[in-house]
Amino acid sequence: MNFINPEVRLLKEKKLFIFDMDGTIYLGGKPFDFAIRFIKNLRANGKKVLFFTNNASHTTAFYKEKLTRLGFEPRDDEIMTSGDVTFEFLKRFRSGKTVYLVATDELVEEYRAKGIPLLSGEEERADIVITSFDTSLTYEKLNRACRLLRGGAEYLSTHPDFNCPTEDGFIPDSGAIAAFCTAATGKVPTYFGKPYRETVEMIGEATGFSNEEMCIFGDRLYTDIALGKKFGVTAVLVLSGETTPEDVEAAAEVDKPDFVFDSLDDVDRMMFGECPYFSFKKEK
């Protein structure tokens, strides 16, 4: 299925290049070599890079180590997760509120270390319940979350992704866990991460770039691409992860990405040609 893309000039004019991670620059523990090449070409041409993942099962420290090991050479200030956006919301607007957090031990320990008053879930009430992508999920965690939600707790979720891509296929993600809690309690969470306003605002604050100066690359229509379409960020879909060409065709016109490529390999070749570290200045 062929897609007609706008002129490459639109991408070359952007200053901040935001990358989803899983399914876009790597799959599980396997990096896409062309993604490494593309990001090196961007840096060589003075472009800024930000790695943003909705996967809040790990911390930015984990992703720094992983991206470094895979060859992406990230800086500390180039990594952000939906867990960071959710934490920032708690710090700014829910300071001191008690939280029952359904998440991996890694995220729980990070929130505790940052001063969030976390509960065990055995308490009678909580101010807030947060669910996230929890690979250590148990029925008891779900039961505690639902009981506290029925007791009046506010419901938040780090991100809405239903599935997480891995080398072995998809596994249930944060959105699937939230769907369980909603089915059991009738309460729908306030989501963070992509595609919500808090995320693009935090990116702007952290980098100093306007939405018009940004472009986002991702493999999901309802998170990565939706963030761009909602807030004026150029949205580039790659078909190396969750989304299929049929999904793009079926999407409403307003939800379609600005660009569609098989992978970042095609983006790199379109922007920089066949020569590694190709400079815009060499173009005729």
Residue 220 has pLDDT above 70, yes or no: yes
Residue 283 has pLDDT above 50, yes or no: no
Alpha helices in the chain (DSSP H): 9-12, 33-44, 60-70, 82-93, 105-113, 139-150, 174-185, 197-207, 226-231, 245-250, 264-272
Return the pLDDT at 2: 65
Return the pLDDT at 275: 46
The identity of residue 234, as a single letter, is T
* Residue 20 neighbours by CB under 8 Å, 6+ apart: 52, 53, 54, 194, 216, 217, 218, 219, 220, 223, 224, 241
Return the pLDDT at 284: 32
The identity of residue 104, as a single letter, is T
Residue range 158-181, pLDDT digits in tens:
999 999 888 888 899 999 999 999
Return the pLDDT at 118: 98
CB 6 within 8 A of CB 258: yes
Residue 43 has pLDDT above 90, yes or no: yes
Token pair recorded at residue 266? 């095609």
Average pLDDT, the chain: 93
Residue range 232-278, pLDDT digits in tens:
999 999 999 889 999 999 999 999 999 999 999 999 999 998 644 33
In the numeric block, the tokens 């998440």 are attached to 103
Return the pLDDT at 278: 37
- Region of 23 (left: φ > 0; alpha: ψ -120 to 50; beta: rest) is left
Mean local confidence (pLDDT), 153-159:
98
Instruction: Kindly state the DSSP code that residue 231 receives in the 8-state scheme.
Output: H
Return the pLDDT at 166: 81
CB 41 within 8 A of CB 258: no
CB 231 within 8 A of CB 200: yes
Please state, in angstroms and rounded to a whole number, the distance separating the CA atoms of residues 239 and 263.
6
CB 108 within 8 A of CB 137: no
Cα dihedral: 182, 186, 192, 197 (round 10): 140
